[in-house]
Amino acid sequence: MPTKAAEDFLAALAEELAISESRYEQASRSYGALGVWLHRADSTVAQYDPQVYVQGSFLLGTAIRPLNDEEEYDVDSVCLLRNLGTTDLTQSQLKALVGKEIKAYRVAQNMVKPVREGRRCWILDYADGAQFHMDIVPSVPNATRQRLLLEARGLDLKWSETAMVITDIESPVYEQLSDDWPRSNPKGYAEWFKQRMGELFERRRQMVAESIKASVEDIPDYKVKTPLQSAIMILKRHRDGMFEDRYEERPISIIITTLAAHAYNGEETIAAALYSILSRMDQFIEPDGQHFIIRNPSDPLENFADKWPAHPERQAAFFEWLKQARQDFKTLADQVERRRLIESIQPHMGAVADRAAVRLGPPPGSMLQPATAAAAAAVATTSAPAFPNTPREPTTPRGFA
């Protein structure tokens, strides 16, 4: 286990990476206002019962501050037209339908920057001072077809009720009527993720409610932070720092998040969760004889590592990152002195390591002085986490058929 100083430093690091509640509230107001706009009297999509909600790291509570002031927060959201299906229109027509309303919303709100089109989404840029943009993915429900696909393969149907399909300009049937659209299920994934946090999430939510004398139902999820979420935030920032100059190779967040959630075992501190995750996360990568599979828990037909065969450098980058993360955080686990804590992870975490140390407050003595006898004894009796240095044979994650 890590030293007490290392545990405190990791907790401070997570606090430093966390985005403010005002950012979550800002995102909530933004997609909420767009949803109201889509339901106005003269809306061209109101008849299709549109629903706008956030997805990705803002939904999971794992969003982190940008590396620098030039970067923006990326708020991923979905625009689900609940009264439409794949037999009613093409992906291209859905994209245009939603895009027309988003462009009209931008004009009505006097937003300066034009709406941009992404591969799967429309991008709404807010004022520079807001420091964020919103990606809006057009979608329609897909629960019925998803159940049929899963049943045909004997797979778990647990999360199929919230399944949907989305637009993608690179889809081979983008301009054609087809039921073979790209699939997605952000709500199902979020429910699986919350399940992985276990009862600790509800206990902490109850504590927040009691601290402000409110009912549990009134506490939004973003006000609750668990060790799993904090550990993922730390790992994502370590990834960002390590691949700052190799952005296209970096392990994608959904892979880190999924493997971390599988490896999490209910630990109640950030340090315990982080070291448990690092030691076990590669066990939840399935080999199929030729390639690796990292299944989407909410859609076991989807492989989050499906790009690895065509881009072997991304597969190599993941295992390179995991090895480096294990090494860096193992080094950190041994440290007691403040400067050593910072130096152990600063090469791949950057300035946030210094800010975390400041958050801890003044050290008990000068950082230039040797550790106290008590601290030295703590080091002598504390063993660092032991990460496997031999290849593991990945196994099928628990919970899959």
Are 165 and 269 found together in one domain? Answer: no
Are 281 and 298 found together in one domain? Answer: yes
pLDDT value at residue 130: 67
Confidence band for 390, pLDDT divided at 50, 70 and 90: low
Are 42 and 13 found together in one domain? Answer: no
Q: Give the rounded distance of the alpha carbon of 344 from its chain centre.
A: 25
Range of the domain at 268: 1-18+225-401
Are 284 and 357 found together in one domain? Answer: yes
DSSP calls for 133-171: EEEEEEEEE-HHHHHHHHHHTT---TTGGG-EEE--TTS
Classify 87 as helix, strand or coil.
coil
Residue 384 or 322, more confident: 322
Q: Can you tell me which residue has the tokens 């065969």? A: 309
Are 158 and 69 found together in one domain? Answer: yes
In a domain, 164, yes or no: yes
DSSP calls for 103-139: HHHHHHTT-SSPPEE-SSSEEEE--GGG-EEEEEEEE
pLDDT value at residue 389: 59
In a domain, 217, yes or no: no
Are 115 and 10 found together in one domain? Answer: no
Are 14 and 38 found together in one domain? Answer: no
Which pTM was predicted? 0.89
Are 330 and 371 found together in one domain? Answer: yes
SS3 content of the chain, % helix, strand, coil (to 5): 50, 10, 40
In a domain, 332, yes or no: yes
What does the angle CA 86 – CA 90 – CA 93 come to, to the nearest 5 degrees? Answer: 125
Q: Write the burial class of residue 383 (CB in 10 Å: 0-12 exposed, 13-18 middle, 19+ buried).
A: exposed
Residues 250-274 pLDDT 10s: 999 999 999 999 999 999 999 999 9
When pLDDT is averaged across residues 35-40 and rounded to a whole number, the result is: 96
Percentage, residues of the chain above pLDDT 90: 76
Residues 171-198 pLDDT 10s: 999 999 999 999 999 999 999 999 999 8
The CATH number assigned to the domain holding 153 equals 3.30.460.10
Q: How far apart are CA 109 and CA 101, in angstroms?
A: 12
Confidence band for 68, pLDDT divided at 50, 70 and 90: confident
Are 46 and 128 found together in one domain? Answer: yes
In a domain, 203, yes or no: no
Are 332 and 377 found together in one domain? Answer: yes
Q: Which of 19-33, 114-128, 175-189 has the highest mean pLDDT?
A: 175-189
pLDDT of 374 > 80? The answer is no
Residues 150-159 pLDDT 10s: 999 999 899 9
Are 313 and 354 found together in one domain? Answer: yes
Q: How far apart are CA 9 and CA 358, in angstroms?
A: 10
Pair 305, 285: CB distance under 8 Å: yes
In a domain, 207, yes or no: no
In a domain, 189, yes or no: no
Residues 210-220 pLDDT 10s: 998 888 888 88
pLDDT value at residue 373: 39
Are 373 and 347 found together in one domain? Answer: yes
In a domain, 211, yes or no: no
Q: Give the rounded distance of the alpha carbon of 219 from its chain centre.
A: 21
Confidence band for 391, pLDDT divided at 50, 70 and 90: low
Given 154, 184, 214, the domain boundary residue is: 184
Number of structural domains (the chain) is 2
pLDDT value at residue 398: 47
Confidence band for 285, pLDDT divided at 50, 70 and 90: very high
In a domain, 375, yes or no: yes
Given 127, 158, 184, the domain boundary residue is: 184
